[in-house]
């Protein structure tokens, strides 16, 4: 019975260690960015022509966003 408890403890510790390692591997990219919006602007897709444009430059429309192309904005 002690062996079973011991194996169970090892399994639990192994799961915790794996989660910690995965968390340590996953966190640096997001934690290293001080200004994620400035360094990696969020791109949105133009609902008219399908081009990806920074959200700051996109024009909101009922069906999504439009790029700065005058033709796309005319269709909005």
Q: Site residues (CB under 5 A) for Zn ion?
A: 46, 48-49, 51, 67, 69, 72
Q: Judged by CB, which is closer to Zn ion: 33, or 57?
A: 57
Nearest approach, Cβ of residue 41 and Zn ion (Å):
17
Rounded-to-integer distance, Cα 6 and Cα 53, Å: 56
Nearest in space to 56 (alpha carbons), one of 65, 73, 47? 65
Q: Judged by CB, which is closer to Zn ion: 27, or 42?
A: 42
Nearest approach, Cβ of residue 76 and Zn ion (Å):
9
Q: Which two tokens stand for residue 57?
A: 């430059």
Q: Which two tokens stand for residue 20?
A: 């910690």
């Amino acid at each position: 019975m002690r062996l079973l408890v011991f194996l169970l403890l090892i399994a639990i510790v192994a799961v915790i260690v794996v989660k910690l390692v995965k968390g340590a591997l996953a966190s640096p990219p997001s934690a290293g960015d001080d200004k994620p919006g400035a360094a990696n602007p969020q791109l949105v897709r133009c609902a008219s022509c399908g081009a990806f444009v920074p959200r700051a430059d996109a024009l909101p429309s009922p069906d999504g966003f439009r790029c700065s192309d005058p033709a796309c904005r005319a269709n909005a």
